[in-house]
Structure 1
Amino acid sequence: MARPLVTALIAGAGRAQRMGKVNKIMVDLGGMPVIERTVRALAQTGRIHHHILLLRPEDMGRVERDILPRLREDFPDQTFTPVQGGEERTDTIKKGLEALDEDTDLVLVQDGARPFMDPSLVDRGLDRMEAEDLDGCIAAVPVTDTIKRVNDRGEIVETPDRAQLYRAQTPQIFRKEALLAAYNKPLEEGERVTDDAQMLERIGRKVAIYPGHGQNFKLTRPEDLAYGRYLLMEDVDE
């Protein structure tokens, strides 16, 4: 039986407001832009046939000129396409869905600013999707801190059982028809969606987790870049 055809949507169109003035997906990290490091981790698995890079308008030229030629040379059997993203994450993913190949079976969504994703996470998620009757599965790691839920005055109202709490990561992998169905349901006024698994939860689809990785963190604040550079220095020293 042939393996499903997989398209990756790499979300890199965010404004990175918590990073200050740094364009986090284009910043140099160990000799290459963050988004290139992320895409290479995906491509190394050999199980993704098409990578759609969802970008800010001002990044399109540099990616097409400097990054895509290197990726195409190193991974000639895979396709890399830049697509302009939208104002919000959901708008950006919609742009990616519009660019899907008709023969795509599974859609993998990856944050462009997770450059330390281990390629084994792709294999782990795709293997679960192929083996089980799921609409989606996402990488996640257990919460280790005690979590407090508070009211608008900062008063603690609940301490949830952390044994049932996980931190969502990417990759997040979905059956194409399920993800399209989720995005076809309009958001209600004021509804805030922070990841694509939540979109499927809204329509009652079945999404599971699989083990993520502690170093698969998203570059969000300036100290994350500093930590990422430290990790790369540690690899060199070893």
Structure 2
Amino acid sequence: MGADQRFFASCGKGLEYLLADELLALGCASAKATIAGVNAVGSLADAQRAVLWSRLASRVLWPLTEFECPDEAALYAGARAIDWAAHLEPRHAIAIDAHVSGTAITHARYAAQRVKDAVVDAMRDTTGTRPDVDLEMPDLRLNLVVRKGRAILSVDLGGGPLHRRGWRRQQGEAPLKETLAAAVLLRGQWPKVQAAGGALLDPMCGSGTLVIEAALIAADAAPGLSRYEGLAPTRWRGFD
């Protein structure tokens, strides 16, 4: 699956150290907590394992390129330089999530549009066909971060938010995120309690998020097992 490299797993604020421990347990060579996520080092297999097994990560981002990005022209050029035909097929649809800070590029939607233009232009030149855009169910979801004059463009290996486990068919007005429910259970030592024969009672059950996450932990069931209904998390060509 290739040599180890740095990748990023995002999470809710306050969950960083729990997620770092979880990624180490899943086989990553290192995992260091930062704001709202963890900088991990591992193989692509480690990152894919996190998509399937992490109970705490919101997204797992595998970087494709990092480059100086003082303005939108540099953003387009940096994204355009990638051999996109090696990463997706012309029939595939894409989506770009962008996060920008600083004074050079200030509009996230515009930044996403420029990356989309770069991908489309590169694919048209290489294959004669342009990919479509599908913001809801893309074949390849990309993540762009522009900060302090540098851009990082990554594949979202999970194809979207990982708190969506696949079991929820409807929800109330303010459902507890599955990742936060898992964090509460881990903080409360639920795995040890369950292993010792203990039980869990949730008197304010709501839609059952806590007890369902507790059951998944007790059964040692991968939280991502039902998320994709038999499909790969992404149609990125680099995904095994």
TM-score normalised to structure 2 length: 0.29
Which structure has the larger Rg?
Answer: 2
Q: Greater RCO between the two (CA within 8 Å, min separation 6)?
A: 1
TM-score normalised to structure 1 length: 0.29
